[in-house]
Each structure stands twice: as C-alpha cells, then as structure tokens.
Amino acid sequence: MSKKFNPANAIQDLKQFGEFGGVNPSITDSATFTFLDEQTMIDTFHGKAEGCFLYSRHWNPSNKYLAQAMAALEGTESAWVTSSGMAAITTTLLQLCNSGDHIVTSVTTYGGTYAFLANYLKKFNIEVSFVNISDLESVKAALRPNTKVLYTESMTNPMLQISNIPELARLTGDNGTKLVVDNTFTPMIISPFQLGADIVVYSMTKFINGKNDCVAGAICADADFINAISDVNDGTAMLLGPVLDPLRSSGILKNLSTLHIRMQKHSSNAMFIAKHFEETRLKFIYPGLPSHPDYELMKSLMNPDYGFGGMIAIDLDTAERAAPFMEMMQEKGIGYHAVSLGYFKTLFSNSGKSTSSEVPEEIQKKMGLSPGLIRFSVGLDQDIERTFQWIKECLVELKYI
C-alpha cells in the first residue's frame, strides 16, 4: 500500500550536516570554487562531473541544501532556489516557452505574475489566454496545439479560489503542455506535484521563510527540468542569473523546519477569525468554511494536518471604506498595513490597490475582485480571541457592523 505523502515528515527526515559535523550545514561564503586538476573543471563545465561546484550563480552548497529540502517538501526529484518568487516564475515560463508558443493561465494570479503574462511576454511573441481557472470547460477550450504551459496558483491571490489540480493535469494530458502551479499560499497544505502538477513554483518570501527578512523563490521539478534551467549553454537560470544568496539560503533552510507548526497556527488562527467574520455577516472569503464554493474541493486535495491556510479576504465594498479600517487596525496593534503574507504578524492590504493593482480595473471587476477587498495574512498570535475583539472594535467604531 502506498503511504500518504507527508511533507513535514519529508523535511524532518533530511540529514544535512556541516562538513565539520555542524548540525546546520555551513554557509558557503564563496562565489567561485577551486579545482585540483584541469580535467575536472572541464568535465564540470560540460555537466559530466558529479559533486563539484564551479561558480555560485550555477550552484553552491548552501543553495543545494535548500533546494534538496524544497524538493523533499514537494516530493519532486529536484529543485532550484531563486532570488525571488518572480524569478522562479519567470525562469520557469521563459524556459518552457519559445517565441510563437502559447500559455493558458488563471486570470486570478499575483499581480506581478499577471503583469509578466499580460505585458512582458508580448516582446517574445508568446501569447497568453486568461481564463477562470474554476471553469474547467473554458480551460479546455483555451488549450491549443502550441500551448506549452497551463499556469495557476493552488489557492489564487487574492480571490482564494482553489485550483482543481488533478483535473487540470488531466486536461494537459500527455500533449507536452506543462502544468505549472504556484503554491505560495499553501505550502504543506497542498502538494501540487503529488496531485499531478509538473512544476511547482514558490515565493519563499512568504510562509516558507516566514520572517519577512528576505525575498526568495524556488522551482521544484524533475531533474531534467532543473538540469535544463541550470545548463551553462542555454539554461534560463544560468544565463539570466537570478541566483539566491547563500547566506539567505541557510536562513530559509532553518525556517523550513518550523513550517509545519507555523502553518497549523496560521490556519487555526485564520479559521477562528473567519468563523467570527461569519457571525458579523460581513462578506468574506475563507476556503476552510462550507460557505466557500471550493470548500469540498479543498478538503479533497489537502494534506490532512495543516488546516486550510492563513489567508482570508473580507469585502467592504469600496476602497473608501477599506482605508480607515486598515489604518485603525494598524493603530490598534492588530498587525501591519503592508503587502505580502506568511509573516508571524498579521498583514493586511487592499488587494485592488496594491498586490493586484497591475490588473486593469475592468478585469478586476470581471474576476469579482471588489475595490473594497482586504486580504489578510493572519499571524501567529497566541491569543487570537483578543485580536478578533480588536478587529470587532474597529468595525463597530466605523459603524460597519
């Protein structure tokens, strides 16, 4: 009987020592590496020598450890770590697509991803079709013989739709279209590769690192793809050079070992707040409650132990109503009025005015993104009841409830 995939066990089971027996691997403080003989250097440049490092833009030991851990997290053969989440996404897409190719993507994605797909890829003559990823018929209809990528986020930013990864994988089938899934919102909770995705990308800036002290990303895939992006002759990662600094790699690696506990706490805190939002009759989105259209789907896809995630959105209808609420919440100490997510403190921002501002207003409207939508990344507060009381006080003071 096949054992169920458990990402936390996979991280725990890693045995990565420093070369002097340090329980944490040593940090690689070198851009370049020495070779004892010329032939090994030549072989390494031709990809024929195992275990040698040649230059840190290509690979370095600290990044290798973190990449191994990210591969373990997803259960992929290999991984590569990048200097940002956007670097992971753009490297992957530029590696997979040539001029004249076509991408089908969820219209609801992180604003930077949307901008890259809608605006930037034009210069390479790569066409992009934007679809409602929950409407599988429209996804199917958008696929063409030259579609190289079907792109989505496991839990979309900021609408918190859940992508039906197994069905999307079925649609791409064996016709050469790669299913690329951004799992930034749901590490450990959803394991896209296990569900049929070909490549999983991350902004590690968020939950993976959890400290908001650096920007980083990862690409998890089979060894052929990771070797291809790091090929010295034509690999997108090697040639565009979005390498992660090894000092940052080593910090993120240590934070991965607490990810399961953090995800559980983010999720239980978000669930508490969502249940209380429900009582206020405010409009809100949380996939962990039956009121969410993808609740059953999420239950069928998720790993059992990490909850439904730390992301909630509430809809106050207009930006003018959202602004004083966010300012008051920051003043009361509920969290920070800031973009990004996965931090130990609660972060909130008006998506349409910030992380989705790249999406034109008429498309925001079409995807159901209200101008008053506030996205919350719920923090690790020990006393979440106290936090909710403060949120409620803000809502009452502003006469919203």
- Using the minimum distance from each CB to ligand PLP, give the nearer residue, 112 or 192: 112
Which token pair is 286?
Answer: 């949380």
- Which residues here bind ligand PLP, judged by CB under 6 A? 84-86, 110, 112-113, 153, 157, 182, 184-185, 203, 205, 215, 217, 340, 355
Q: CA-CA distances (angstroms) from residue 170 to 99, 107, 173, 363?
A: 26, 20, 5, 28
Distance of alpha carbon 266 from alpha carbon 288, whole angstroms: 12
- Using the minimum distance from each CB to ligand PLP, give the nearer residue, 85 or 235: 85
Least separation, in Å, of the C-beta of 339 and ligand PLP?
A: 7
Distance of alpha carbon 261 from alpha carbon 270, whole angstroms: 14
Least separation, in Å, of the C-beta of 161 and ligand PLP?
A: 12
Which residue from 179, 170, 124 is spatially nearest to 150, judged by alpha carbons?
179
> DSSP letter string over 144-178?
-TTEEEEEEESB-TTT--B--HHHHHHHHTTTT-E
Residues 329 and 387: beta-carbon distance below 8 Å: no
Looking at residue 55, what DSSP letter applies? Answer: B
Residues 310 and 342: beta-carbon distance below 8 Å: yes
- Using the minimum distance from each CB to ligand PLP, give the nearer residue, 198 or 388: 198
- Using the minimum distance from each CB to ligand PLP, give the nearer residue, 312 or 384: 312
Q: Which residue is nearest to ligand PLP (CB)?
A: 85
- Using the minimum distance from each CB to ligand PLP, give the nearer residue, 246 or 342: 342
- Using the minimum distance from each CB to ligand PLP, give the nearer residue, 44 or 157: 157
Distance of alpha carbon 140 from alpha carbon 168, whole angstroms: 9
Distance of alpha carbon 162 from alpha carbon 14, whole angstroms: 30
Least separation, in Å, of the C-beta of 212 and ligand PLP?
A: 11
Residues 108 and 163: beta-carbon distance below 8 Å: no
- Using the minimum distance from each CB to ligand PLP, give the nearer residue, 155 or 271: 155
